[in-house]
Each structure stands twice: as structure tokens, then as C-alpha cells.
A and B are shown apart, each in its own frame.
Chain A
Amino acid sequence: MARVAREMVEKAGINVNQLVELLVKNAAAELTTYYYYTILRCNLIGLEGEGVKEIAEAARIEDRNHFEALVPRIYELGGKLPEDMKIFHDISACPPAKLPKDPTDIKAMLIVLVEAERCAVRGYTHICNMTAGKDHRTYDLSQAILNEEIEHESWFSEFLGEGPSGHFMRRGETSPFVSKFLR
């Protein structure tokens, strides 16, 4: 734990225990999404599925990176991960991104994917709002994650044809925004 770092956040008027609880829930969302996306990726086959596979994989790896990046902040602030992984799963800030009934229905797959990303965009926007100007490090981290979640949302939304695209798939390394927290 980083005692003074925690004190500074408290002094800024943030309830640190509640913030930590929220960070743990979002870490759970990241790790469980990483897991559920593994299953989705395995099922993204055929002419349509293979086209989506690459971005689903980038989103999956980046969500794992988000988990990795959140954990140190949780411990710095005096929090910890639950001992029991079943509990960790169930406290996730987002619902499980489960394989649709018909996994060959690629549109249904994309809807699961885009909804998971939208949940994340909402969650990190809220953490940014809460910490802005008060907890600089958590803000910096959640803003970096938010940048990537918005790109994930756009990728899947664009595959669904919801509107014209301003994006292309990741080129180069994954996690262009969060990588500074992983080094």
C-alpha cells in the first residue's frame, strides 16, 4: 500500500474504500471478459466469423491488459482482490459476455461484443468523472483504459454497420494507451 498516496485521495474528498471496490469490480469485468472473449473468439469461424476474429482477439488481449493495469492501483490504495475467484466473477461490474445460443449467428456475436464494450465505456467514464481533479493516478489510468474501450466499441459497432467508420484495426502493439502502465 502507498500510505500517502491513499491519504491524498482521501483528502481530495473521495471515499477510497468505495473507489477501491469499484476498481475491483472493473478488474473483475476485465478478467472475466478476457475469459468469455476467448470462447467467443474460438467460435468466430466461417467467412463472416473469421473477419471479426482479429479485432475480437485485440479486444481480448487489451482487456487482459486492463486487468493487469488495474491491479497495482487497487493495492496501492490499500485494496485487494478477493481470495475466491468465484466471488470475483460474480462481483464483476459488467454482465458475463456469454456465447449466444446460436454461435454461427455472427450478428448475435457482435451484439454480445459491442454490449460488453459499452458497459466498459460507461464504467470507466464514471470512474473518470469521480476521480477527475482528485485522484490523478486513477484518473490517468481509467482514462487510458477508456480510450481503448471506446475503440473496441467502435470496431464492433462498425462491423454491425451502425454508421461509417473512422477506424482501422490495431496496427503495431496492442494497448497504445494503457501500455505505459504495464511497463
Chain B
Amino acid sequence: MKEFTEEELAQYDGKNGNLAYVSYKGKVYNVTGSFLWKEGTHQVFHRAGVDLTDALEQAPHGGEVLDKFPVVGILQDIHMPDMPSKP
């Protein structure tokens, strides 16, 4: 499975025909087809191409909304699911 650096992930910002990828708890998801991620923007505040593990804590839904989107890789180093998250 492909490993993304943060710089690589940043290219998938959903803008100008780019694919829209977001990472959550170490996994990188392709949310390109979603009605709610058009142009890589979600509900005004969130952008594709970055790790949204912390942002999702504040969302009015859990990580299960990502289940229906394909996992396209893992994010290097940070937020691996088996590592304790930041204190």
C-alpha cells in the first residue's frame, strides 16, 4: 500500500481537477466522488490534502462516514492507528 508523506498528500487537494484525499488515523481515503467534498472543500471549514484526525473530533459525526470511501494508502509516521494519539 502506498505511503504518503504530508507533502505528497497535499497535492490531492481536490482543486482544479485534482483528486481529493484526506487522511484519518493513519489511513488515506479518496473522497473525490463525494457530493460533500466538491473542489476538496467540506462544510466550509475543511480542506482535502491534509490529515483530519484531530479535526474530526469536532465534527458532528464520527470516522464511520469514511467507511464507504476507498483507502488509497497510509500516511507516513503520524497518527498510526496502533500508536497512542497525542496526549
Contacts and interface: CB of A to CB of B under 8 A. Distances in A.
A103 to B, nearest CB: 21
Contacts of A21: 44
Contacts of B38: 90-91
B84 interface: no
B60 interface: yes
B60 A25 contact: no
Range of interface residues on B (Cβ < 8 Å): under 10
Contacts of A126: 43, 59-60
Contacts of B61: 122
A22 interface: yes
B36 interface: yes
A79 to B, nearest CB: 12
A93 interface: yes
Contact of B43 (A22, A90, A96, A125): A22
Contacts of A49: none
A25 B44 contact: yes
Interface of B is mostly: loop
Nearest to A128: B60
Q: Is the interface of A mostly helix, strand, loop or mixed?
A: helix
Interface in B55-74: 59-61
Interface residues of A, number: 17
A18 B44 contact: yes
Contacts of B43: 22, 25, 93, 123, 126
A82 interface: no
Nearest to B42: A93
A95 interface: yes
A110 B45 CA distance: 30
B15 to A, nearest CB: 16
Contacts of A93: 36, 43
A18 B36 contact: no
A93 B43 CA distance: 7
A25 B43 CA distance: 8
Interface in A25-60: 25
A123 B60 contact: yes
B36 A95 contact: yes
A19 to B, nearest CB: 8
20 contacts: A18-B44, A18-B45, A22-B44, A25-B44, A90-B38, A93-B43, A94-B36, A95-B35, A95-B36, A96-B35, A121-B60, A122-B60, A122-B61, A123-B43, A123-B60, A125-B60, A126-B43, A126-B59, A126-B60, A129-B60
